[in-house]
Amino acid sequence: MNSNSKRNNKNKNKKANNKEKRQLNNKTKRNQNNQNEDDKDIQNPKNIKLFRDLANNSYSIGTNNSFCVFKSINDILILIYTNDRFSIISYNILDFKLMNEIKNAHCKYIINFRHFLDKNNNRDLVLSSDSNTIKIWNLNNLECIVIIQNFYTGGIMFSSCFLNNNNNIYIVTSNYKFGPIKIFDFNKQKIKEMNYSNDGIYFIDCYYDKTLAKSFIITGNDNYIKSYDYERNNIYHIYIDNNIKENHISFIINTKEENVKLIDASETGNIRIWEFHSGALLNKIKFDIKLNCICLWSDEYYFIGCRDKTIKLINLDKKVIENNLKGHNNRVVAIKNITHPIYGNCLISQNLEIGKIKLWTFKKK
């Protein structure tokens, strides 16, 4: 075979190999695109289903933070909840096993749980509170490190939380009917008071704005949502819609978008989206349902817990209900969105009084 024939054969083989590579690459891309479409379809919140019960004896008086879920310092996905015997129970959501139970942790029903990852001391802190007592627990050794009690005269402390201000951790308390917001340090010293109008508070939370390097306290009550500038010790905004008075029992802060949003769910079925820093009302949706809690899924979708014992998926863009989840035996009072290392995005929910905490995941194909 002459040299020209050899070169021609070599070129033909090269072209054939290149063609096979292109075909293989195209096939791989098609498979990847199909897989992405499958994953997208599977992860669509309209396809979420009840997967299993996580706790059969949980108890809630009806607050939004009657349980908490977090990734621990040891990379364990942990659920914290209580029962009707005032215990604090920790549950491993990765292995679906009970971890620990602190019996008689309080002498009354535990109303509220919050978690804080204390990176400075390499520990997980859990705040638990009943009607007039707050306790802080080091979850690493189950030791109670702070007890603050009897700092309100009358009323009920429905909600309390941690505030992280310039790496200083504080305890923020509120009361329904009596007294202002009170902030304590871990030495049980009262740092300051806010909310001198004595608004009854159902729910309180804190938000740290990294861009502004400022801490804010947000409260929900009978009439409106309020935000406070922690450093200046004054009201930042009052979020009120045409003086409509209704119970604002749940709200969330959405920091996923460039402009921070406050999403407010009222007991009467109104969902409002506010621009947090300007106080402007951006959108309002009215549903003929009684709401208890709200959970952010994406910029488009939210889940709401309802008094009819269901969880409903709300499409904010279309302003419609696109899924109706059933399984609880009482009104749904707390829902949270978590990321499970095996099952991906999941929903955890709890009903009023004695019941089950449920895990909702996507149907596998």
Residues 264-311: pLDDT tens digits?
Answer: 988 889 999 999 999 999 999 999 988 999 999 988 899 999 999 999
Where residue 223 falls among pLDDT bands split at 50, 70, 90? Answer: confident
Decide: helix, strand or coil at residue 10: helix
Q: How far is the C-alpha of 92 from the C-alpha of 69, rounded, in Å?
A: 10
Half-sphere exposure (Cβ direction) of 334: Cα atoms closer than 13 Å:
28
> CA-to-CA distance for 203 and 224, rounded, in angstroms?
11
Mean pLDDT computed over every residue of the chain: 87
Question: Is the model more confident about 235 or about 43?
Answer: 235
Q: What is the pLDDT of residue 87?
A: 97
- Confidence at 65, pLDDT banded by 50, 70, 90: very high
The yes-or-no verdict on residue 125 having pLDDT over 90 is: yes
> Would you state the pLDDT for residue 355?
92
Band of pLDDT at residue 167, cut at 50, 70 and 90: confident
Instruction: Answer yes or no: is pLDDT of 100 > 90.
Output: yes
Mean pLDDT over 242-259 rounds to 84
Between residues 317 and 51, the one the model is more confident about: 51
* pLDDT, tens digit (0-9, with 9 covering 90-100), for 12-61: 555 555 555 455 455 444 444 443 444 455 578 999 999 999 988 999 99
- Say what the pLDDT of residue 180 is: 87
197-201, 290-294, 357-361: range with highest mean pLDDT: 357-361
pLDDT of the residue at 53: 95
Distance CA 357, CA 24 (A): 47
* Per-residue tokens: 30: 């098609």
- Among 109-118, 129-138, 238-247, 294-303, which stretch is predicted with the lowest mean pLDDT? 238-247
Nearest Cα to Cα of residue 221 among 195, 191, 192, 242: 195
Average pLDDT over residues 189-194: 92
Residue with the bigger pLDDT between 4 and 320: it is 320
* pLDDT category of residue 175 using cuts at 50, 70 and 90: confident
Give yes or no for a contact between 34 and 347, defined as CB atoms under 8 angstroms apart.
no
Model confidence band, residue 99 (pLDDT cutoffs 50, 70, 90): very high
28: tokens are: 């791989």
Q: Do the beta carbons of residue 194 and residue 179 sit within 8 Å?
A: no
Q: Which of 38-47, 131-140, 204-213 has the lowest mean pLDDT?
A: 38-47
- Token pair in block for residue 52: 């299993």
Q: What is the DSSP string of 282-328?
A: EEEEE-SS-EEEEEE-SSSEEEEEETTSEEEEEETTTTEEEEEEE--
Distance, in Å, from the CA atom of 47 to the CA atom of 45, rounded to the nearest integer, reads 5
- Average pLDDT (323-339) is 95
Sign of the CA dihedral running 70, 73, 77, 78: negative
Q: Among 61-65, 96-100, 233-237, 253-257, which stretch is predicted with the lowest mean pLDDT?
A: 253-257
What's the pTM value of the predicted model, to 2 decimals? 0.86
For the ranges 26-35, 76-85, 106-115, which has the lowest average pLDDT? 26-35
Q: What b/e readout covers 246-256, taking b as 16+ CB neighbours within 10 angstroms?
A: eebbbbbbbbe
Q: Cα–chain-centroid distance for residue 71?
A: 13
Average pLDDT rounded to a whole number, residues 57-86? 95
Q: Is the pLDDT of residue 365 over 50?
A: no
Look at residue 15 in the predicted model and tell me its pLDDT: 55
